[in-house]
Amino acid sequence: MKLKLLVEQHFHGCYGVDFNKATVADICELAHKIYKEGVGYIFPTLVTDSIENIKRQIKAIKQASDKQTSDMAKIAGVHLEGIFLNPDKKGIHNSEYFMRPTVENFKLIEDDFIKIITLAPELADEELFNYLIKKSIKIQAGHCIGGDLAFCNGTTHTFNAMSGISHRGKSTALSALINDNIYTEIIADGVHVSDDALKLLFKSKPNDKILLVSDCLPCTHSNLKEFIFADSKIYFDGEKAASKVGTLAGSTKLLPDIIRLLLEKDLFSSQFIENSYIYHNLPYCGEFEI
């Protein structure tokens, strides 16, 4: 089967490379390898870190973008997942670095290469939302408990690290499912959400508002079994990667691997790939065989 080259808008690294630590050469090599897997565009995703390190890594990602060749997945921008999250849904992130989501704090790390930002909408004010909208930055609700998604373009790894479905009151996941105007990321790796939860999202959301992501880690397609990620020791058992207490750190499959799983379960639609192109207004860049 031939499919459009994939758009990976949420992943932290693979082949032993961690975007929070990677050099320019590391990023270029990753972009070359992942292009061969069938990924045409990437948004390197940064977890919570110090302001200094976030700025350093955005600079490295931009420099790698300037060095790209035609046999690499094109770096389309940075997905900033960290620092503006809710401590109650921190997941694997280091909450010591969390900051209030304000315009003033965003300006500490602001860069025109940031194209997606994950934040807790219940902690942000309208001034920040309006500022990000003027900058054409995609706003995604994640690591949060709020049910008001009025200013959001989408949700980050839906169901994971957010308030779940409740039959009383509002929640992030419930709002994501019933709002036909926003996009929903989903990690369909067979670990982060059950097949039933996956089917619920696929039934609830319009097909053109579903974004497949991997949220994959440096251990993906590598020999790493133990490594430091987001300042935590992570253990990879061959299927899942988690901290010592069992907190999932991210996926261990590339996006093409996830699509193969969905094909096996008869849950895949090529519309899912098209959605990412539309969401980011990206030009078509080729096909791959899966």
Q: CA-to-CA distance for 245 and 91, rounded, in angstroms? A: 11
Q: Give the residue-averaged pLDDT of 165-177.
A: 93
- Assigned CATH topology for domain 2-280: TIM Barrel (3.20.20)
Coil, strand or helix: which one is 282?
Answer: coil
Tens digits of residue pLDDT in 202-220 = 999 999 999 999 999 999 9
Tens digits of residue pLDDT in 123-167 = 999 999 999 999 999 999 999 999 999 999 999 999 999 999 988
Q: CA-to-CA distance for 13 and 186, rounded, in angstroms? A: 17
Q: Give the residue-averaged pLDDT of 6-19.
A: 98
Give me the pLDDT at residue 131, please: 98
Q: Give the residue-averaged pLDDT of 180-189.
A: 98
CA-based end-to-end distance of the chain: 6
Give me the pLDDT at residue 21, please: 98
Give me the pLDDT at residue 284, please: 95
Find, among 275, 272, 280, the residue nearest to 290 by Cα: 272
Q: How many CB atoms sit inside 10 A of residue 69's CB?
A: 9
Residue 240: pLDDT above 90?
yes
Residue 57: pLDDT above 90?
yes
Give me the pLDDT at residue 13, please: 98
Secondary structure letter of residue 89 according to DSSP: G
Give me the pLDDT at residue 102, please: 98
Q: CA-to-CA distance for 170 and 173, rounded, in angstroms? A: 9
∠ CA 157-12-274, rounded to 5°: 55
Residue 191: pLDDT above 90?
yes
* Distant-in-sequence, close-in-space partners of 12: CB < 8 Å, separation ≥ 6: 18, 19, 20, 44, 45, 46, 47, 215, 216, 217, 218, 229, 250
Least confident window among 103-112, 123-132, 163-172:
163-172
Give me the pLDDT at residue 166, please: 84
Helical axes 24-37 vs 51-66, angle rounded to 10°: 60
Q: How many CB atoms sit inside 10 A of residue 79's CB?
A: 26
